[in-house]
Amino acid sequence: MSASADPAGRRLGGLAAVVAAAAYAADQGSKAWVEATLAVGESIDVLPGLLRWHHVLNPGAAFSIGTSMTWVFTLVQTIVAVGALVALVRVRSRPWALCLGGLLGGVLGNLTDRLFRPPSFARGHVVDMISVPHFAVFNVADSFIVCSMIALALLVLTGRRLDGTREGEERDHHVEAATGDTVGRG
């Protein structure tokens, strides 16, 4: 059965699209809010000593690593986004769909900044605003990327495959064809 004719695959693709859209909207919405509310470098305490909104522009990656290599991060994020889309075509597992959707939404959020924010196309600075003690300032997209990657690592470490089976299990196509359900969906 092709992916386009597989209703379960379409549903999981739709679920991933909803998660990606929600992650992207939360990221871009929070960035628009911080830009409208705070000047670059300005802060607001949310939970004094624990959490503050702090508007910064980051040309690099986490902890401002590679500030002169913005174009490399743009390229890497483009490759990750394409990889997530390719994996989503094959996904038959709800946890994988959720994780890939979160990863895609987060990557697209930061990629939008890199492509379209100053100083120039594909070299834009990412808006960061979440500040906690003893840690780099980050944004909603970063949170989705990190949480999704941790969850994906757990799926891999526990042997859950894209098709919903666990390592060592074979997919039972006869049961799936008869019931329309997948065996071992996780």
Any idea how long the chain is? Answer: 186
- 128 belongs to the catalytic site: yes
Q: Where are the domains of the chain?
A: 3-132
Q: What does the alpha-carbon distance between residue 11 and residue 56 come to, in Å, rounded to a whole number?
A: 38
Q: What does the alpha-carbon distance between residue 97 and residue 102 come to, in Å, rounded to a whole number?
A: 9
- Active-site residue, from 6, 27, 45, 142: 142
- Active-site residue, from 113, 128, 163, 181: 128
The structure's pTM equals 0.83
Helices (H), 38-182: 70-90, 94-116, 140-157, 173-179
- 172 belongs to the catalytic site: no
pLDDT digit string, tens, across residues 9-55? 678 999 999 999 999 999 999 999 999 999 999 999 999 999 999 99
pLDDT digit string, tens, across residues 125-157? 999 999 999 999 999 999 999 999 999 999 999
User: What is the predicted pLDDT for the residue at 175?
Assistant: 47
